[in-house]
Amino acid sequence: MTTQSTRIPPVTVPALHQMKADGRRISMLTCYDATFAFAMDHAGVDTVLVGDSLGMVVQGCDSTLPVTVDHIVYHAAAVARGLSRALLVADLPFLSYATPGRALDASRRLMGEGGAAMVKLEGAGPMLETIATLAQRDVPVCAHLGLTPQSVMKLGGFRVQGREAVAAQRLRADALAVQEAGADLLVLECVPRMLAAEITASLRIPTIGIGAGAQCDGQVLVMHDLLGLRGRHRTPRFVKDFLAESDSVEDAFAAYVAAVRDGSFPAQAHGFD
């Protein structure tokens, strides 16, 4: 665990790429305010995500769809004030990147007002032009494939993606496509562990898994899930309560970082075949 007097260089986009090259796993957690951001930073979390998951865990909604750019900007600015080392990623909310122009406007706000160093968006296909437009203008992009929560209505619920051969091939192709469009990072959510491992090995950019097995280059969890805060939503199988065996919230964050780095999390039980 770091201390206030410890001087550690901030995590950058090139540093994340180097971590993949070195085989050093990347830790990511969601965060929505300055106090928890400060604790994550001191615990050694590499990347902090202001996710549109705030719609469910903070606002009490049934999905991420009601979250707006204003919401993400507000929470990102608060989180940024608590960070000194971790790289801050902010979600582009539902339909805020429906066109490249709208994505540029929203990204300007997330980075300029919210202090984000990278923006995250879901999908490939029509989003490839948007990813390329952002990347060409030096906006770092984290892509998100597999279970994409903003598409929950179309997907018919929160379900594992890529189990069928056709769907698996599409995920492989989409992963390569977002990389070639200019994405610097890729989240794989609820993807069979073997498929996620194959995609990870095929890419130059790091992959961050959530319910995608231990062979991704890093892992992400929603902070509330890591702390065992159940709320009214069902706890996903890829979640582990790190606070249950820790003495404090910061110790729970540090335990998560250590487990990601040594490969003990996620375990077999946290993934899908």
Summarize the confidence of residues 175-190 as an average pLDDT.
97
Question: Of 148, 210, 198, nearest to 172 (Cα)?
Answer: 198
Query: b or e along 21-50 (b: 16 or more beta carbons within 10 Å of the residue's beta carbon)?
Result: eeeebbbbbbbbbbebbbbbbbbbbbbbbb
**pTM for this entry:** 0.93
Pair of tokens at residue 91: 């979600």
Does residue 2 register a pLDDT over 80?
Answer: no
| The pairing of beta strand 207-210 with beta strand 47-50 | unpaired
Question: Domain 13-270's class?
Answer: alpha beta
Helix (H) or strand (E) holding 100: helix 100-112
Q: How confident is the model at residue 3 (pLDDT cuts 50, 70, 90)?
A: very low
Determine the residue type at 173: A
pLDDT for 236:
81
Q: Which residue has the higher pLDDT, 92 or 2?
A: 92
Does residue 144 register a pLDDT over 90?
Answer: yes
Summarize the confidence of residues 154-178 as an average pLDDT.
82
**Set 122, 180, 189, 250: catalytic member:** 189
Asked if 250 is an active-site residue, the reply is: no
CA atoms within 13 A on the CB side of 189: 21
List the domain boundaries for the chain: 13-270
pLDDT for 42:
97
pLDDT for 80:
98
In three-state secondary structure terms, 214 is coil
Summarised one tens digit per residue, pLDDT across range 39-64 is: 999 999 999 999 999 999 999 998 89
Does residue 153 register a pLDDT over 80?
Answer: no
Q: Is there a contact between 118 and 146 (Cβ–Cβ < 8 Å)?
A: no
